[in-house]
Amino acid sequence: MYRSLAEAVRDAEARGVSLSHVALESESADSGRSVADIRDALSRALAVMRGAVAQGMTGDLRSSSGLVGGDAAKLRTGPDGPLAGTPFRDVLARALAVQEVNAAMGVIVAAPTAGGAGVLPAVLTGLADARGIPDERVIDALATAGLVGAVVADRASLSGAEGGCQAETGAAAGMAAGAAVEMLGGTPRQALHAVALAQQGTLGLVCDPLGGLVELPCVFRNATGAAIAMAAIEMALAGIEFAIPADEVIDTMGEIGRSMDVRYRETAGGGLAATPTGRRLARERLVQIKKSAD
């Protein structure tokens, strides 16, 4: 397993191959599975991602608390805003859709976690559909995303309880940005800068779920994370380079997470969860859930 994205990029450049190529080879060596088997697993994950997007877009889902649901459909069919008809708006809708499925206890792919699961499928499937990119290349992109996620997990954390939402939605934004740059024809080095550009934009992001439920603000943070990933993709493909290497950005995220007050690490003790409205909504919804269970 690679412990450094810079090392993976060096290997890919030296051999003239993509990041997904070295990612698949590394995973095959570590797991003892063939590359074909790994690609089959990624293909199944992609099918689940597409299914979650489609289900969430219907607007029929509501979470058990009633706090979230139906907003992806509003973006899909609602009044035109300044981004109407663009892949950007579609990606935002897809991110909400997957998280609404998650909040309604549907089937999703943790990418890298349930709390950040909307970003990667939204960005990859949204851009692939907009550009007519075949699934084989999306599967390659998922392999690249897995490489990025594995390095983040090793150098920092993917847990909101350990590192705040920067470790979940933030990591997802980095994974999506790097993966999409490769999928769109970018170089391994451009993908590396995309990761850095995305994750620097989420440093310090707290995890503050109302009532401890993965609903508010989690669902909407995924749309924000997807937007950050899209910005990073656009900048990286334009040739913009971030001065701080991606590995150092990831290390910084880990350091920030370790020093973060416990109130901001998934305990619902701070941030938006601790606002007067947040506490009121949590009390009301948790009472409602308890009544439904009884």
Q: In this predicted structure, what is the pLDDT of residue 198?
A: 98
pLDDT of residue 6: 98
Q: What is the pLDDT of residue 293?
A: 64
pLDDT at site 287: 72
Return d(Cα 132, Cα 127) in angstroms, integer: 8
Per-residue pLDDT at 66: 86
Spatial CB neighbours of 40, under 8 Å, sequence gap ≥ 6: none
Query: Is 230:201 a contact under the CB 8 Å cutoff?
Result: no
Q: In 10 A of CB 170, how many CB atoms?
A: 34
Residue 286: its pLDDT value, please? 72
Give the CA-trace dihedral at 133, 135, 139, 140, to 10 degrees.
-40
Average pLDDT for the chain: 96
Using CA atoms, how far residue 254 sits from 2, 51, 53, 223, 251, in Å, is 17, 33, 30, 23, 5
Alpha helices in 119-164 (DSSP H): 119-131, 135-155, 160-163
SS3 207: strand
* CA–CA dist 101, 90 (Å, integer): 17
| Residue 183 pLDDT | 98
Cis peptide before 112 (omega within 30 of 0): yes
Identify the burial level of 161 via C-beta atoms within 10 angstroms of its C-beta, where 0-12 means exposed, 13-18 middle and 19 or more buried.
Answer: middle
Can you spell out the DSSP letters for 209-237? -GGG-S-TTHHHHHHHHHHHHHHHHHHHH
- One digit per residue, pLDDT tens: the chain, 294 residues? 899 999 999 999 999 999 999 999 999 999 999 999 999 999 999 999 999 999 999 999 999 888 899 999 999 998 999 999 999 999 999 999 999 999 999 999 999 999 999 999 999 999 999 999 999 999 999 999 999 999 999 999 999 999 999 999 999 999 999 999 999 999 999 999 999 999 999 999 999 999 999 999 999 999 999 999 999 999 999 999 999 999 999 999 999 999 999 999 999 999 999 999 999 999 888 777 666 666
pTM value > 0.95: yes
Cβ contacts of 102 within 8 Å, gap of 6 or more: 52, 108, 114, 117, 118, 214
Amino acid 290: pLDDT: 64
CATH for 5-293 (1.20.58, 1.10.4100, 1.10.10, 1.10.8): 1.10.4100
Task: Give the C-alpha separation, 62 to 285, whole Å.
Answer: 13
The C-alpha atoms of residue 249 and residue 254 are separated, in whole angstroms, by 9
Return all residues near 139 (Cβ < 8 A) that are at least 6 apart.
Answer: 39, 42, 43, 46
User: Of 164, 172, 272, which is closest to residue 225 (Cα–Cα)?
Assistant: 172
